[in-house]
Structure 1
């Protein structure tokens, strides 16, 4: 999951070296925290959150039975 988020985010941003994804588990939920350069934040979120919503949909589809939560951190 972590690798998928990194791959997608690095394809969207101008500064792919600044992309980091931290992974942790809370109860039965996998939490992924995506951090990008401040100037690339809008590219990852997208207009009205469409890009972020699409990334979350990909995670839900590939997650199987496991709950996955994506947070985009400033």
Structure 2
């Protein structure tokens, strides 16, 4: 899932080397924390949050097809 997020986000930003995805796994959920360069934040969020919403939709859909995961998936975008 981490690779999927990086594959989608890196072409969108001006500083692809600054893209980092950290994973926090708990008992009932897995949280992916996406951090990008400060100047790329607007590109990742998009107008009215459309890019961020589309990214979350893809990640959640990929997680739902993986039947071995019984945990809730969260995607946070951090500066």
Aligned to 2:57: 57
Stretches of 4+ aligned residues off by more than 6 angstroms: none
The answer for unaligned runs of 5 or more in structure 1 is: none
TM-score of the two chains, using structure 2 as the length reference: 0.87
- What is the CA–CA distance in structure 1 between the aligned matches of 2:45 and 2:73, rounded to whole Å? 17
Deviation at 1:44, TM superposition (A): 0.3
| Structure label with greater radius of gyration | 2
Deviation at 1:3, TM superposition (A): 0.7
- What is the CA–CA distance in structure 2 between the aligned matches of 1:30 and 1:11, rounded to whole Å? 25
Aligned to 2:30: 30
The number of residue pairs the alignment matches comes to 74
Deviation at 1:15, TM superposition (A): 0.6
Moved more, 57-66 or 44-53: 57-66
TM-score of the two chains, using structure 1 as the length reference: 0.93
- What is the CA–CA distance in structure 2 between the aligned matches of 1:21 and 1:7, rounded to whole Å? 11
Aligned-residue RMSD, C-alpha: 1.0
- What is the CA–CA distance in structure 2 between the aligned matches of 1:18 and 1:26, rounded to whole Å? 26
Secondary structure class of the residue paired with 1:11: helix
